[in-house]
Amino acid sequence: MPFTPRSEHELIALDDDALVAHLRDAQAAGDRGQAALALQVLIAGHWDNVKRRVAMRVAREDVDAVASDVIFSAVRNAGGFEGGSVGELQSWLRTITARRIADYHRRAAAEPALVALATAGGGDGDEPGGGVELADRSQEGAVEVRDVVDRVLAGMSELHARAVELHVLAALPAAEVAARLGLGADNVAQIASRFRRRLRTALEGSEAP
Amino acid sequence: MSTSDVQRLLAEFVAEDRGEVPAEPRRYLEQVEGRDREELAALIDAYLQRAPRRRVAPAAMSREARDASDRVERSLFGDAGAWPLLLPRLRERAHLPRRVLVDQLAERLGVDGQQRRVADWYHRMETGLIDPDGVADRVLEALAALLGTSARRLREASRAIAPLRAPLDAAAYARTAAPDAELAQTARPGGAEPGEGTGADDAAAARVDALFTGGRDAQP
């Protein structure tokens, strides 16, 4: 099927995976302008979220570099540039952000003066290619804390985890979450309370801040 | 502070973040300490992980986001792998303005007097408009020494992306890539393309060109 260019407005309206697929199709069709526009829309929309995640754990002067590397690696992987399937950008962003922050602190310990860029198959993670960084070790223990929410959620049922995501993490009212998931509002509040207790316990079991 | 305070701060953060301007985590984290701060940071991080893409136009990007976008674009679509991401980053960390880097690179390569030509080739490295296999090991060794890394890492970075298709020509790329403010200051060497010798400088220019196009073992 011939490649169909889209307006900027149309690209902004696409979801992530459709946007990545368009980027990939544009590049395959040799339409550099469309590929670049799709990439810019992706980065414009994700930059602040990635940067803020990175900024909570990485020295200020290195935030932009790590965030750029995250975006680059995520687009490469979600775009199938490494030979895999196309899609799941959000998932790649989540995974790679956590990994790059961990890499940043780990490599600082090994090579404090060196900015390293891992190559295909050579990084600490299992996604192909990518990887920066350097840093001080002051946040090394805290990096592990980042996974604690996911660990606690993984210990809950899928329905309860979804309730936490909507009520606690997305701050939706308990009544709205209850209606959406077919639960009672009181039940949603109890689930949230249980999650918070477990999160506290998990944090207390992790390295002291 | 208590769990309810942490939850209140998270709710306030989320509410602010749903406005036009992204909320700043540090402003909220500064309101709590110790384990409360860790809990709030973990929750904000979990929220940001799940936050959908902002539906904003590229024109609304901050300068930092624009710079990142340009570099990712050059790395993703150019011919030099991750050099457009890595080289400017290393140069910035080394606090080396590009003009200074180029002067020192020319000196290390033994091609004093050819700074403008070296600048143009280096510009192509930073913008992904060069075949990395044409760049001599000697160039990467000199660059690595100046940038505080290794030639091996620079070589590996140039191969960080498997090509999807035949490389697009430089002119086509130049039409689509947004200009980098610093790179835009680069003067072209006498209006000549690299690879095109000019009069009495032909021999010297050819030596420089060989270093950037003649393959890994090229010598000046």
pLDDT digits (tens, 9 = 90+) for A38-79: 999 999 999 999 999 999 989 888 899 999 999 999 998 888
Q: What string of pLDDT tens digits covers the 220 residues of chain B?
A: 566 789 899 999 999 999 889 999 999 999 999 889 999 999 999 999 999 899 999 999 999 999 999 999 999 888 899 999 999 999 998 999 999 999 999 999 998 888 999 999 999 999 999 999 999 999 999 999 999 999 999 999 998 665 444 344 444 444 344 444 454 444 444 445 555 545 556 788 888 899 999 887 777 6
- B chain contacts of residue A113, beta-carbon cutoff 8 Å: 148
Q: What integer pLDDT is reported at residue B194 of this predicted model? A: 57
Whether a cis peptide bond, with omega within 30° of 0, leads into A133 is: yes
Q: What integer pLDDT is reported at residue B215 of this predicted model? A: 83
In this structure, what token pair is assigned to residue A30? Answer: 């040799």
At residue B121, φ and ψ (nearest 5 deg) are -65, -40
CB distance B39 to A22 below 8 Å: no
Q: What integer pLDDT is reported at residue B161 of this predicted model? A: 61
**Whole-angstrom distance, CA of residue B122 vs CA of residue B120:** 5
A204 Cβ contact list (under 8 Å, min separation 6): B35
Cβ contact B162–A81 (<8 Å): yes
- A chain contacts of residue B148, beta-carbon cutoff 8 Å: 113-115
**Whole-angstrom distance, CA of residue B188 vs CA of residue B194:** 9
Q: What integer pLDDT is reported at residue B164 of this predicted model? A: 45
Q: What integer pLDDT is reported at residue B193 of this predicted model? A: 57
Query: What pTM, to 2 d.p., does this model score?
Result: 0.78
Cβ contact B77–A120 (<8 Å): no
**Whole-angstrom distance, CA of residue A125 vs CA of residue A127:** 6
Count of pairs with CB atoms under 8 A, one residue in A, one in B:
205
**Whole-angstrom distance, CA of residue B209 vs CA of residue B202:** 10
Among B26, B45, B74, B169, the strongest candidate for a mutation testing the A interface, having the largest count of A CBs within 10 A, is B45
Cβ contact B46–A203 (<8 Å): no
Q: What integer pLDDT is reported at residue B196 of this predicted model? A: 53
List the one residue out of A56, A45, A68, A69 whose CA is nearest residue B45: A56
Q: What integer pLDDT is reported at residue A206 of this predicted model? A: 62
Q: What integer pLDDT is reported at residue B123 of this predicted model? A: 95
Cβ contact B177–A83 (<8 Å): no
Cβ contact B45–A51 (<8 Å): no
- A chain contacts of residue B45, beta-carbon cutoff 8 Å: 53, 56, 146, 149
Cβ contact A171–B69 (<8 Å): no
Our CA-based measurement puts residue B49 at a distance from the nearest CA of chain A, in whole angstroms, of: 6
Cβ contact A171–B15 (<8 Å): yes
Return the DSSP state at B109: H
**Whole-angstrom distance, CA of residue B47 vs CA of residue B18:** 12
B43 Cβ contact list (under 8 Å, min separation 6): A149, A168, A169, A199, B6, B10
Among A16, A36, A82, beta carbon nearest to B53: A16
Which A residues, 49 through 68, put their C-beta within 8 Å of a C-beta on chain B?
Answer: 49, 51-53, 55-56, 64-65, 67-68
- A chain contacts of residue B34, beta-carbon cutoff 8 Å: 209
Cβ contact B42–A146 (<8 Å): yes
- B chain contacts of residue A55, beta-carbon cutoff 8 Å: 25-26
List the one residue out of A166, A135, A33, A106 whose CA is nearest residue B46: A166
- B chain contacts of residue A118, beta-carbon cutoff 8 Å: 156
For B88, which residue in chain A has the nearest alpha carbon?
Answer: A65
Cβ contact A56–B46 (<8 Å): no
Cβ contact A115–B149 (<8 Å): yes
Instruction: For residue A166, give Cα distances in angstroms to A100, A173, A192, B47, B51.
Output: 27, 8, 10, 10, 11
Among A52, A67, A142, beta carbon nearest to B68: A67
**Whole-angstrom distance, CA of residue A25 vs CA of residue A20:** 9
List the one residue out of B93, B149, B125, B76 whose CA is nearest residue A73: B76
**Whole-angstrom distance, CA of residue A194 vs CA of residue A93:** 28
Q: What string of pLDDT tens digits covers the 209 residues of chain A?
A: 788 999 999 999 999 999 999 999 998 898 999 999 999 999 999 999 999 999 998 988 889 999 999 999 999 888 877 666 667 888 889 889 988 998 888 877 766 544 333 332 333 333 433 443 333 334 444 455 557 898 999 999 999 999 999 999 988 999 999 999 999 999 999 999 999 999 999 988 765 44
Spell A170-204 as b/e; 16+ CB within 10 A means b: bbbebeebbeebebeeebbbebbeebbebbbebbe
- B chain contacts of residue A146, beta-carbon cutoff 8 Å: 41-42, 45
- A chain contacts of residue B19, beta-carbon cutoff 8 Å: none
Which A residues, 133 through 192, put their C-beta within 8 Å of a C-beta on chain B?
Answer: 142, 145-146, 148-150, 165, 168-171
